[in-house]
Amino acid sequence: MVESFFPIEKLLEKLGSFACEELLLFCGVKNDLQKLKETLTAVKSVVLDAEEKQIHDYRLRLWLRKLKDACYDAEDVLDEFEVEDLRSKS
């Protein structure tokens, strides 16, 4: 079941976008961006393993759901940054 790690993949895509990198460079947090990408890549590996085990472990299933929600929240924040960036360029 790939669905629950999909938000991580999408989040990594957004973090790797030119607009996001440009904005974070402007804000002075470019090093933090790289650390975040590395952490999310590591989390993705753990999630792939957890996906297979969640069928028999309710706590693991809850953890995956919470992680998925957190990824969606982070994606929403990045979307807001992108919108503000576009507004400031208009």
pLDDT digits (tens), the chain, 90 positions: 444 567 888 888 888 887 777 777 777 777 788 888 888 888 888 888 888 888 889 999 999 889 888 888 888 888 887 787 778 777
CA 29 to each of CA 26, 38, 48, 53: distance values in angstroms, whole numbers, following the listed order: 8, 15, 29, 36
Structure tokens at 24: 């974070």
Q: How far apart are CA 8 and CA 84, in angstroms?
A: 23
* Pick from 72, 50, 48: nearest CA to 61: 50
